[in-house]
Amino acid sequence: MGDGTTVTCTTAGTPYRAEFGASPSPDCGHRYRSPSSQSGSGKYHVTATSTWAIDWAGGGQSGQLTQTRTGSVDIAVGELQVVGQ
Protein backbone atom coordinates (compact mmCIF):
# COMPACT_ATOMS: atom_id res chain seq x y z
CA MET A 1 0.00 0.00 0.00
CA GLY A 2 3.05 2.25 -0.07
CA ASP A 3 3.04 2.87 3.69
CA GLY A 4 4.62 -0.45 4.68
CA THR A 5 1.28 -2.25 4.94
CA THR A 6 0.35 -5.31 2.91
CA VAL A 7 -3.31 -6.21 2.36
CA THR A 8 -4.30 -9.67 1.13
CA CYS A 9 -7.87 -10.13 -0.09
CA THR A 10 -9.32 -13.59 -0.63
CA THR A 11 -12.58 -12.47 -2.25
CA ALA A 12 -13.60 -9.91 -4.87
CA GLY A 13 -14.69 -7.57 -2.07
CA THR A 14 -17.96 -5.82 -1.35
CA PRO A 15 -19.17 -3.12 -3.78
CA TYR A 16 -19.40 0.27 -2.07
CA ARG A 17 -22.85 1.62 -1.21
CA ALA A 18 -23.56 5.15 0.04
CA GLU A 19 -25.01 3.84 3.33
CA PHE A 20 -21.55 2.49 4.22
CA GLY A 21 -20.34 6.07 4.65
CA ALA A 22 -16.76 6.15 5.93
CA SER A 23 -16.99 2.73 7.61
CA PRO A 24 -14.07 0.38 7.03
CA SER A 25 -14.42 -2.26 4.34
CA PRO A 26 -16.18 -5.36 5.70
CA ASP A 27 -13.85 -7.77 3.88
CA CYS A 28 -10.92 -6.12 2.14
CA GLY A 29 -9.68 -2.57 2.50
CA HIS A 30 -7.00 -0.27 3.83
CA ARG A 31 -7.14 3.00 5.70
CA TYR A 32 -4.05 5.21 5.65
CA ARG A 33 -2.96 6.48 9.07
CA SER A 34 -1.01 9.46 7.78
CA PRO A 35 -1.01 11.62 4.64
CA SER A 36 1.43 10.85 1.85
CA SER A 37 3.01 14.28 2.33
CA GLN A 38 4.92 12.66 5.21
CA SER A 39 6.58 10.18 2.82
CA GLY A 40 9.82 11.03 1.04
CA SER A 41 8.24 11.54 -2.39
CA GLY A 42 4.94 13.06 -1.26
CA LYS A 43 3.02 10.08 -2.65
CA TYR A 44 2.52 6.45 -1.74
CA HIS A 45 3.70 3.92 -4.33
CA VAL A 46 0.93 1.30 -4.41
CA THR A 47 1.32 -2.06 -6.13
CA ALA A 48 -1.65 -4.36 -6.71
CA THR A 49 -1.38 -7.98 -7.75
CA SER A 50 -4.34 -10.05 -8.89
CA THR A 51 -4.12 -13.84 -9.24
CA TRP A 52 -6.76 -15.76 -11.16
CA ALA A 53 -7.31 -19.52 -10.94
CA ILE A 54 -9.02 -20.54 -14.19
CA ASP A 55 -10.84 -23.79 -14.91
CA TRP A 56 -11.69 -24.15 -18.59
CA ALA A 57 -13.41 -26.67 -20.82
CA GLY A 58 -14.18 -26.77 -24.54
CA GLY A 59 -13.78 -28.91 -27.62
CA GLY A 60 -13.66 -32.07 -25.54
CA GLN A 61 -10.71 -30.82 -23.50
CA SER A 62 -10.35 -29.11 -20.14
CA GLY A 63 -7.62 -27.76 -17.95
CA GLN A 64 -6.52 -25.29 -15.34
CA LEU A 65 -4.50 -22.10 -15.63
CA THR A 66 -3.20 -19.54 -13.20
CA GLN A 67 -2.74 -15.94 -14.36
CA THR A 68 -1.14 -13.16 -12.34
CA ARG A 69 -1.36 -9.45 -13.19
CA THR A 70 0.48 -6.65 -11.40
CA GLY A 71 0.14 -2.89 -11.68
CA SER A 72 1.52 0.09 -9.75
CA VAL A 73 0.55 3.70 -9.24
CA ASP A 74 1.75 6.64 -7.13
CA ILE A 75 -1.09 8.21 -5.18
CA ALA A 76 -1.39 11.30 -3.02
CA VAL A 77 -3.28 10.72 0.22
CA GLY A 78 -4.47 13.87 1.96
CA GLU A 79 -5.68 14.62 5.44
CA LEU A 80 -8.92 16.28 6.46
CA GLN A 81 -9.67 17.64 9.91
CA VAL A 82 -13.00 18.99 11.04
CA VAL A 83 -13.21 21.41 13.93
CA GLY A 84 -16.35 22.64 15.72
CA GLN A 85 -19.05 20.50 14.17
Mean pLDDT of the chain: 89
Write out pLDDT tens, residues 51-81. 999 999 999 999 999 999 999 999 999 877 7
Residue 45's pLDDT band, with cuts at 50, 70 and 90, is very high
Judged by average pLDDT, the poorest of 12-21, 40-49, 50-59, 64-73 is 12-21
Instruction: Report helix, strand and coil shares of the chain as percent, to nearest 5.
Output: 5, 35, 60
Q: What is the pTM of this model?
A: 0.68
pLDDT value at 85 more than 70: no
What are the two backbone dihedrals, phi and then psi, of residue 65, each rounded to the nearest 5 degrees? -135, 155
